[in-house]
Amino acid sequence: MNFLENENLSLIAQSARDFAKQYIQPNIMEWDEAQTFPVEIFKELGKMGFMGIVVPEEYGGSGLSYDEYVSIVDEISQVDPSIGLSVAAHNSLCTNHILEFGNEEQKQRWLPKLATAEWIGAWGLTEHNTGSDAGGMSTTAVKDGDEWIINGAKNFITHAISGDVAVVMTRTGEKGAKNNATAFVIEKGTPGFSSGKKENKLGMRASETAELIFDNVRVSDANRLGNVGDGFKQALKVLDGGRISIAALSLGIAKGAYKAALKYAQERHQFGTAIANFQAINFKLAEMITEIEASELLIRKASYLKNHKKPMTTEGAMAKYYASEACVKISNEAVQIFGGYGYTKDFPVEKFYRDSKLCTIGEGTTEIQKLVIGRNILKD
């Protein structure tokens, strides 16, 4: 692993930083208050190449590595985590699932539209009664000639309303049986395919979250990704990369909260000196930056392994677990440093605080990450 940032990575990070400052920062609270999903911003991000970051150029993507991907999500999330979340979900879930498991015809059919953000992507695994128990899914796909009939619903789905296409996990076997899930790509406008109510969330409010509903949805067998029964195995591999995404999102939140707290602590004076000089505040800042550095090291290691196609399930879980818990703690401490002002919407830390909590829940809770890590260390 090379810890020296190369010129290309620096330039890409700077372009993401500049974009976020110019196009995202002026609208943060307006989007948050109204729960606006700014589709036009994602079209612009598509022009930048940020909606198909790891997609090869032959499919309209940028052909970059997970190093650049982490930096882009990090930089955007330092400004508005909800936009960072949607960039991450589009790239690592829907788009990456097709990239990893689609055949050549499927890649040519969907990836160019996703990589340029002509289409926004969604990914459906979670259901109302299953959560982490994906083997007990109620959404079913039944073969009927050359087609499949899909019935059921998914909840907490990013881009469920505005998405143009979704990769959806369905149950094609008995509940609890092995190899009982199969993935399908379903396009918006397919009869019977609709979205439900938009969730009114604590944070990440500019990232759209809603239900996906399937009422006798017919899709061609050509929309099936991989073999029948391989859906859950595919989903686990997709979530390995997704953990890097949420870790990068967490890193951006932590950095954004820390930078705001550091600036405020240097400007705020009490008893004739900046509060940053008080040991209580200084120690908080020292702990915050140390946890940020530790988070980034874990993330960069997982990214290195991912880039080199090495096993990284444990490392991805560690990065996601540590970085997500750290960002909640750091955001909390940032509010504390701001004092009463941190509790108002005039300063950015209250939003970082609200947004941070999702990182310990989405794409596998902290408890699931510990389960993954714990099981794997016993295999070694």
Whether 55 is covered by a domain: the verdict is yes
Averaged pLDDT, 355-361: 98
Last-in-domain residue among 63, 87, 120 = 120
What pLDDT digit, counting tens, does each position of 86-143 carry?
999 999 999 999 999 999 999 999 999 999 999 999 999 999 988 767 678 999 999 9
Q: Residue 138's domain is classified under what CATH number?
A: 2.40.110.10
Structural domains of the chain, count: 3
Do the strands 121-124 and 165-171 form a parallel or antiparallel pair, or are they unpaired?
parallel
Q: Which domain holds residue 206?
A: 122-232
Residues 179 and 64 placed together within one structural domain of the fold: no
What pLDDT digit, counting tens, does each position of 239-250 carry?
999 999 999 999
Write down the pLDDT at residue 84: 98
Residues 139 and 74 placed together within one structural domain of the fold: no
What pLDDT digit, counting tens, does each position of 335-353 carry?
999 999 999 999 999 999 9
Single pTM value for the model? 0.96
Structure tokens at 10: 């620096």
Last-in-domain residue among 95, 120, 145 = 120
Tracing tokens 């009982």 back to the chain, one arrives at 180
What pLDDT digit, counting tens, does each position of 7-18 carry?
899 999 999 999
Q: Is 363 a catalytic residue?
A: yes
Residues 46 and 171 placed together within one structural domain of the fold: no
Structure tokens at 356: 């941070």
Residues 351 and 241 placed together within one structural domain of the fold: yes
Residues 113 and 175 placed together within one structural domain of the fold: no
Query: At 65, is the secondary structure helix, strand, or coil?
Result: coil
Whether 1 is covered by a domain: the verdict is no
Selected catalytic residue, list 68, 75, 315, 363: 363
Residues 364 and 291 placed together within one structural domain of the fold: yes
Rounded Cα distance between 327 and 247, Å, is 9
